[in-house]
Amino acid sequence: MEIHRLTGALGAEVTGVDLADDLTDETVAQIRAAFNEHHVLFFRGQHWTPEQQIAFGQRFGELDTHPFVEGNDAYPEILDVITDPDDVVNFGGGWHTDVTFLPEPDLGSILYAIEVPEHGGDTLFANQHAAYDAMSDGFKGLLDGLRATHSAGPQYQEGGYSTRSKQMRTKNPELAAEHVVHPVIRTHPENGRKALYVNRAFTTGIVGLHPHESTALLRILHEQTTREAFTCRFRWEPGSVAMWDNRSVQHYAMFDYAGKRRHMRRVTIKGDTPV
């Protein structure tokens, strides 16, 4: 197995490993170490059954199910992420970190490409450690101790962005308005580094600030989290896999392939309470 760094900001491509194999503990430990270092890993030329994808994900922790989107009928841990030719939106569009509206957001996501358009449909990733590190000490001090509210409402209440995707079967809209509170700056439990932990999709406000103050501060933070210098971009092929760390990464599924079909298969690994 070889690991090739993709950009200066984040990301690495892993070669020489077949993820459908019964991997040794040593190989899994190498992948996990690379995951903590590079934040998103890419594998090409993989051939997974649903059972094999689930088995790989379980090597890194217990798998989660989505509270607002129906999973695969036979495998509830699997989320089939499908965009049809007549869709006007895509699932995962816009910068976000997965399920920060949960008290214990997912540790990471593992996405497998089954069908992709000839061009378009790339996914962008942004390193939130780098976003934090690049801020001034004064601004870091301003953010230290601040907490933010997160909610699934903008995406999963009636009329929310993610409910408009025709192939994604959403559910429980009455629960989507609930809020949780997480630190604006979280510390990664494995690598010990600090990261910005707000995102456009689910962060709804800063605790203790007036609404106009909260809006202004979040605008600054959202710009910081997705600066070009902190990003990488992945072009999908059938059989490609991306595995990203939700504790340190935001991502954006580009929708520049209108009229084409895209089918991805995702599993997510349960996480812990951000601190």
- The Cα 43–Cα 18 span in angstroms is 9
- The Cα 143–Cα 218 span in angstroms is 11
Q: What are 126's strand-pairing partners? A: 231, 250
Contact between 237 and 113 under an 8 Å Cβ cutoff? The reply is: yes
- The Cα 267–Cα 63 span in angstroms is 7
- The Cα 218–Cα 205 span in angstroms is 8
Cβ-based neighbours of 58, under 8 Å, separated by 6 or more: none
- Alpha helices per DSSP H over the chain: 25-38, 50-58, 128-133, 137-143, 153-156, 211-225
- Alpha helices per DSSP H over 104-182: 128-133, 137-143, 153-156
- The Cα 199–Cα 44 span in angstroms is 29
Q: What are 240's strand-pairing partners? A: none
- The Cα 124–Cα 115 span in angstroms is 18
Cβ-based neighbours of 61, under 8 Å, separated by 6 or more: 107, 269, 270, 271
**Residues marked as catalytic:** 96, 98, 251, 266
